[in-house]
Amino acid sequence: MVEFRFNVWVRAADGPKGPPGRGRVPRPVPGGPRHHPGSEISDVNTQVIVLNGGSSSGKTGISRCLQAILPTPWITLGVDDLVARLPPSLTASGSGIAIGERGEVEVGAEFRRIESAWTAGIAAMARAGARVIIDDVFLGGGASQERTRGRLAGLEVLWAGVRCEAETAAARELARGDRVVGMAAAQADSVHEGVVYDVEVDSAKSEALDCARAIAALVN
């Protein structure tokens, strides 16, 4: 027998008063964290899974595992996909997105506009019936989550935090060889500041499949 140990935390806003586990709480506001301590999981089908974590935290591997183990088809879209398809003019100007020599990321107004339209497009896909995993990096922490929540308004969203200690992420960054050194360490903690999750996993302590199974357990 193989024993799996998940490093997982479920976190949500306080639920209604009373003994835990008795009855189902009312459905929360769409787009916000869905689960309350001592309550059953919402019976509304999950439409979007948002994975938030820093560079080299393991989100891509987890999203692929989710696609493999979830019983229905899910597509995965990442902010890296968006950045890779930007014109050169937006990767070399203050209005787009720029990565400094130490891995710091600066975004301008034009990138924000395009990112907003991109997320709105993902929301439209979800409303049309596609089930989507978003692989994201909340550079602004809680403020980034609020922007994303607004664009996904009306959808049933599962918010998942992918933690990875800075040292491990930095080692992965070096091994990959396709990222600016310093980005992973800079983002390891900052992207989680002020963010509220339904579930958190730690990819430095658990394999990608274990993390995916923990997240999938909350998907309807």
Q: Which residue has the tokens 């990875």?
A: 164
Q: Is the pLDDT of residue 37 over 50?
A: no
- Average pLDDT on 160-187 reads 93
CATH 1.20.1730.10 for domain 48-217: no
The pLDDT score that the predictor gives to residue 210 is 98
- Average pLDDT on 173-178 reads 86
Separate counts of helices (H) and strands (E) for the chain: 7, 8
Encode 139-160: b = buried (16+ Cβ within 10 Å), e = exposed.
bbbeebbbbbbebbeebbbbbb
Active-site hit among 80, 81, 178, 210: 80
The pLDDT score that the predictor gives to residue 91 is 85
The pLDDT score that the predictor gives to residue 22 is 28
The pLDDT score that the predictor gives to residue 6 is 41
Q: Is the pLDDT of residue 113 over 70?
A: yes
Specify the pTM.
0.80
Which is more confident, 134 or 99?
134
- Average pLDDT on 204-219 reads 98
The values of phi and psi at residue 118, to 5°, are -65, -45
Q: Is the pLDDT of residue 23 over 70?
A: no
Burial class of residue 89, CB neighbours in 10 A (0-12, 13-18, 19+): exposed
Tens digit of pLDDT for each residue in 48-96?
999 999 999 999 999 999 999 999 999 999 999 999 999 999 987 678 9
Encode 59-80: b = buried (16+ Cβ within 10 Å), e = exposed.
bbbbbbbbeeebeeebebbbbe
Q: Which residues pair with 9 in a beta bridge?
A: 200
- Average pLDDT on 26-39 reads 43
Confidence band for 176, pLDDT divided at 50, 70 and 90: confident
Confidence band for 162, pLDDT divided at 50, 70 and 90: very high
The pLDDT score that the predictor gives to residue 183 is 94
- Please state, rounded to an integer, the average pLDDT across all residues of the chain: 85
Tens digit of pLDDT for each residue in 118-133?
999 999 999 999 999 9
The pLDDT score that the predictor gives to residue 42 is 55
Which is more confident, 192 or 6?
192
Nearest CA to 198 out of 146, 164, 157 is that of 157
Active site residue 80: yes
Rounded Cα distance, 197 and 51, in Å: 10
Q: Is the pLDDT of residue 213 over 50?
A: yes
The pLDDT score that the predictor gives to residue 39 is 36
| Structural domain spans, the chain | 48-217
Confidence band for 24, pLDDT divided at 50, 70 and 90: very low
